Chain A
Amino acid sequence: MQKKSFKMLGGIVVLLILGLIQWATSTVLGAHPLQSDACTEVYTVQADDWLSKIADKFLGDALAYPIIFEATNQQHTVNDTFALIENADLIEVGWQLCIPSSEQAELLLAETSAAPVALEPADLTVFAAASLTESFTEIGQNFETTHPGVHVTFNFAGSQQLAQQLGQGAPADVFASANNTQMGVAIEAGRVISGAQQTFVRNRLTVIYPVDNPAGLSQLGDLANPDLHLILAAAEVPVGRYSLEFLDKAAQAPDFGPTFKDQVLNNVVSYEPNVKVVLTKIALGEGDAGIVYSSDVTPDVADQVGQIEIPDALNTIAAYPIAVVSDSRFPTQAEAFTEYILSPEAQEVLARYGFISTVGNIAATP
């Protein structure tokens, strides 16, 4: 009995301390509203600028763009020579932006990301492309910690399969597709409202081979070597279509020659139903080479496969759109999840898994 009350007392003390800390930090933040001297620099937007580019230049981190966004808007309230940014994707030439000092940047970052968000409890079902498996699992855990009560369940599969499931009425709250075509299928089926989708990352293709390299691959041209066992994703899967696009582009390049595509396709032994199967079969050594997303070569499998990069000119950079499903049972929470995916923390996780972050990457309208 006594032990129990001690525990309770301890709990109350901890809560009090936590409350004090929060109060203290908020007063500290409140006591230092951004003065113009809080801007280490006032920057005028040039043609071909975008927020994350500017953030990268001044703060050394492209993902820190919301700090410039926040700081500039705060300055606007006291001094309207500073721009009012309504959309982080849209900045105009001639706008005055506030580049905060690194101290202010840290404070702002802590303020925007730390506080748990209060939402009604919900059980979100997120349909996500197979290539997002590892990154979304991690992001989902982070989301659950910062949004207590909201539980996220993922359904990972080939985007084309998810789109079909949505078309057949499968209950879901968020759809993250590996390409716009399958998002289009969901829109056509009436499960996503056209225009609700946003690109959240990009991805690129890479050639992989088992780590002992049984076929002795050293360059892309070797894919046409006779008797090579090549495993691709089926043309129905986004990554499978991109693989064919890469072969088309290569066949037009002088280094490879017009017969390249046919020679490579002659080597295909299997068209797999999703990208993860291609990766597994190559890691197992069942095939000599395969084409997957660079984000698929996670730290877990990096020691089992080797990579040959596909140069930008031949590569297809895939855009991943995300959208709230139109008949979601928890629209507010689903919206919060998609916003979270676009937030710097989630984007940082995605970048760590080999994705190319795109948020805020839209060039200024001149």
Chain B
Amino acid sequence: MAQSAIPWLRRTQPSSRPTVRLREPWWLLSLPLLLFLTLPIIAIFLRTPPAHLLANLRETQVIQAVGLSMVTTGITLAITVIFGTPVAYLMARYDFPLRRAVDTILDLPLVLPPAVTGVALLMAFGRRGILGSYLEIMGVSIAFTQIAVVMAQTFVAAPFYVKAAILGFSSIEPELEQAAALDGASGRQIFRFITIPLSWMALLSGMVMTWARALGEFGATIIFAGNFPGRTQTMPLAIYIGFELDLDVALTLAVILIGFSFLVLMIVKGILRSDLQT
């Protein structure tokens, strides 16, 4: 099978990895970072007794925030796949002027502080923004709506999918697609039956990264979409505001966020792993 070009997928087969012995120096050297990453997560769970957790799950604020986060991240993911896939294919298959500039634009949201993203979105799509002021005349107001939440999430999270898809598409031998074309397959058929099946692992892992990043989006959202319970208050915003008023609500949401993210990442890794082994 074709090896994925994504570093963490391009690895030795699981069976070829020996089990690490406790005396192994690599194991000891790995401990500090692993402990550092695990301890805060464990602390959150320890500070939240299960009884509190269940009681807080019924809080309107919690239900609203969880629901809003699920809906908006779902829409973000769909938009990213629909509009990101063509960009990724273009980047993987074709050479064109300013290609490097386009590639850098795709990298930029990954390094920009989310607060900068929020301000930039306001300057573009806010009521006084370069585009937003025209939309305002047409009676469309984006800031402080769920559209703004999705836009903030898409801006910061879409590059994860696009970058992964570019690597996925690039790892397919062009000869395979050319051979299919010689056999009379149409461009659509090639994409559907050759390109997608051969790169779906990369696409899936990109989708997970985008979804996870969108779920955790905070800075751009609170600046561009504001904070209104049930309308624009996603889980990270509710955690931030809740931290100041009701630590219990914040901890409950944090536990849900961590638990859910962990579960989804594990499941997807499981799918990818079983696929690698076949």
Knowing A229-B144, A268-B228, the reply to whether A273 touches B245 (Cβ < 8 A) is no
A270 within 8 A of partner (CB): yes
Q: Chain B contacts of A160 at CB under 8 A?
A: 244-245
Query: In the bound complex, what is the Cα–Cα distance between A231 and B144 (angstroms)?
Result: 10
A269 within 8 A of partner (CB): yes
B227 within 8 A of partner (CB): yes
Q: Chain A contacts of B144 at CB under 8 A?
A: 229, 269-270, 286
Q: Chain B contacts of A272 at CB under 8 A?
A: 226-227
A66 within 8 A of partner (CB): no
- What are 30 contact pairs spanning A and B, CB under 8 A? A160-B245, A161-B244, A164-B244, A214-B127, A229-B141, A229-B144, A231-B226, A234-B227, A234-B241, A235-B245, A236-B241, A269-B143, A269-B144, A269-B228, A270-B144, A270-B225, A270-B226, A270-B227, A271-B227, A271-B228, A271-B229, A271-B241, A272-B227, A273-B222, A273-B241, A273-B244, A284-B122, A285-B128, A286-B128, A286-B144
Q: Chain B contacts of A164 at CB under 8 A?
A: 243-244, 247
Query: In the bound complex, what is the Cα–Cα distance between A362 and B139 (angstroms)?
Result: 54
A140 within 8 A of partner (CB): no
Q: Measuring CB to CB, which residues of chain A are less than 8 angstroms from any residue of chain B?
A: 158, 160-161, 164, 214, 229, 231, 234-237, 268-273, 281, 284-286
Query: In the bound complex, what is the Cα–Cα distance between A158 and B243 (angstroms)?
Result: 12
Knowing A268-B228, A286-B143, the reply to whether A273 touches B126 (Cβ < 8 A) is no
Query: In the bound complex, what is the Cα–Cα distance between A159 and B245 (angstroms)?
Result: 11
Q: Which of B126, B128, B226, B243 contacts A269 (CB 8 A)?
A: B226
B27 within 8 A of partner (CB): no
Knowing A164-B243, A234-B241, A270-B232, the reply to whether A286 touches B227 (Cβ < 8 A) is no
Per-residue A-contact encoding for B133-158, CB less than 8 Å = 1, 0 else: 00000000101100000000000000
Query: In the bound complex, what is the Cα–Cα distance between A197 and B277 (angstroms)?
Result: 67
Query: In the bound complex, what is the Cα–Cα distance between A214 and B247 (angstroms)?
Result: 38
Q: Chain B contacts of A286 at CB under 8 A?
A: 122, 126-128, 143-144
Query: In the bound complex, what is the Cα–Cα distance between A214 and B126 (angstroms)?
Result: 14
Q: Which of A229, A231, A236, A285 contacts B245 (CB 8 A)?
A: A236
CB distance B227 to A158 under 8 Å? no
Knowing A164-B243, A234-B241, A273-B222, the reply to whether A285 touches B227 (Cβ < 8 A) is no
B33–chain A nearest beta-carbon distance, Å: 24
Query: In the bound complex, what is the Cα–Cα distance between A285 and B243 (angstroms)?
Result: 29
B83 within 8 A of partner (CB): no
A128–chain B nearest beta-carbon distance, Å: 16
CB distance B244 to A284 under 8 Å? no
A167–chain B nearest beta-carbon distance, Å: 9
Query: In the bound complex, what is the Cα–Cα distance between A296 and B247 (angstroms)?
Result: 29
Query: In the bound complex, what is the Cα–Cα distance between A270 and B227 (angstroms)?
Result: 5
Per-residue A-contact encoding for B209-251, CB less than 8 Å = 1, 0 else: 0000000000000100111110010000000110111010000
Query: In the bound complex, what is the Cα–Cα distance between A272 and B144 (angstroms)?
Result: 11
7 more CB-based (< 8 A) A-B contacts, given A161-B243, A236-B241, A270-B226: A161-B244, A269-B228, A270-B144, A271-B229, A273-B244, A286-B127, A286-B144
B89–chain A nearest beta-carbon distance, Å: 37
Q: Chain A contacts of B244 at CB under 8 A?
A: 158, 160-161, 164, 236-237, 273
Q: Chain A contacts of B227 at CB under 8 A?
A: 234, 270-273
Query: In the bound complex, what is the Cα–Cα distance between A152 and B228 (angstroms)?
Result: 36
Q: Chain B contacts of A161 at CB under 8 A?
A: 243-244
A342–chain B nearest beta-carbon distance, Å: 28
Taking CB as reference atom, which chain A residue is nearest B123? Answer: A284
Taking CB as reference atom, which chain A residue is nearest B141? Answer: A229
Q: Chain A contacts of B127 at CB under 8 A?
A: 214, 285-286
